Chains A and B, each alone.
Chain A
Amino acid sequence: MGEVELSCLAYVKMYLHACLFPRCSVNGLLLSSSPAGGAVCVTDCVPLLHTHLPLAPITQLALTQVDVWCAQTQQRIVGYYQANACVSDSSPTPCALKIADKIAEQCNNAVLLMIDGGKMSPDYRVPPIVMYERKDTRWTLKDKHTIMLRQWEETRDIASQLLDSGDHSLLVDFDSHLDDITRDWTNQKLNAKIAELASPANASSIALPPGGGTVSIVTFTWSSSTARGRQQNINSLSINHILLENSPEWRNNG
Chain B
Amino acid sequence: GHYCLDINVLIIVFTEMRDKLRKWREDNHRNSEQIVDVGEELINEHASKLGDDIWIIYEQVMIAALDCSRDDLAWTCLQELKKQFPGSQRVKRLAGMRLEALEKYEDASKQYDSILQDDPTNTAARKRKISILKAQGKSAEAIRELNEYLEQFVGDQEAWHELSELYINEHDYGKAAFCLEELMMTNPHNHLYCEQYAEVKYTQGGLENLELSRKYFAQALKLNNGNMRALFGLYMSASHIAASPKVNATVKKANVKYAAWATNQINRAYQVTKTNQLPVEELLLRSS
**Interface, chain A (partner B; CB < 8 A):** 23, 52, 54-58, 60-61, 64-65, 67-69, 86, 88-89, 94-95, 177-179, 181-186, 230-233, 235-247, 249-250, 252-254
B175 shortest CB reach to chain A, Å: 13
Chain A residues near B6 (CB-CB < 8 A)? none
Residue of A nearest to B203 (CB): A56
Residue of B nearest to A246 (CB): B28
Q: Are the C-beta atoms of A250 and B85 separated by less than 8 Å?
A: yes
Q: Are the C-beta atoms of B171 and A237 separated by less than 8 Å?
A: no
One digit per residue, 1 when the CB lies within 8 angstroms of any chain A CB and 0 when it does not, for chain B 4-35 equals 00000000000000000000011010101000
Question: What are 7 pairs between A and B in contact, CB < 8 Å?
Answer: A23-B30, A55-B202, A57-B213, A61-B283, A65-B278, A68-B283, A238-B103
A190 shortest CB reach to chain B, Å: 14
Chain B residues near A95 (CB-CB < 8 A)? 171
Query: A184 vs B66: C-alpha distance in the bound complex, in angstroms?
Result: 32
Chain B residues near A182 (CB-CB < 8 A)? 273, 275
| Residue from B137, B171, B269, B283 in contact with A64 in the complex, judged by beta carbons closer than 8 Å | B283
Chain B residues near A64 (CB-CB < 8 A)? 282-284, 286
Q: Are the C-beta atoms of A67 and B286 separated by less than 8 Å?
A: yes
Q: Are the C-beta atoms of A240 and B131 separated by less than 8 Å?
A: yes
B140 in contact (CB, < 8 A): no
Q: Are the C-beta atoms of B236 and A60 separated by less than 8 Å?
A: yes
Query: A69 vs B68: C-alpha distance in the bound complex, in angstroms?
Result: 37
Q: Are the C-beta atoms of A242 and B159 separated by less than 8 Å?
A: yes
Chain B residues near A184 (CB-CB < 8 A)? 275-276
Interface residues of B in 212-233 (CB under 8 A from A): 213, 228-229, 232-233
Residue of B nearest to A93 (CB): B169
B91 in contact (CB, < 8 A): yes
Main DSSP-derived SS at the B contact region: helix
**Interface, chain B (partner A; CB < 8 A):** 25-26, 28, 30, 32, 52, 55-56, 59-60, 63, 66-69, 85, 87-91, 97, 100-103, 123-124, 127, 130-132, 134-137, 158-159, 162, 168-169, 171, 196, 198-200, 202-203, 205, 213, 228-229, 232-233, 236-237, 269-270, 273, 275-276, 278-279, 282-284, 286, 288
Chain B residues near A241 (CB-CB < 8 A)? 30, 63, 131
Quick one: given A52-B168, A57-B203, are A244 and B66 in contact (CB under 8 Å)? no
Query: A180 vs B85: C-alpha distance in the bound complex, in angstroms?
Result: 44
Which of B101, B275, B284: most chain A Cβ within 10 A?
A: B275
Chain A residues near B59 (CB-CB < 8 A)? 247, 250
| Residue from A86, A239, A245, A254 in contact with B66 in the complex, judged by beta carbons closer than 8 Å | A239
Q: Are the C-beta atoms of A242 and B130 separated by less than 8 Å?
A: yes
Quick one: given A65-B283, A181-B270, A250-B55, are A54 and B68 in contact (CB under 8 Å)? no
Quick one: given A61-B284, A239-B101, A240-B131, are A55 and B273 in contact (CB under 8 Å)? no
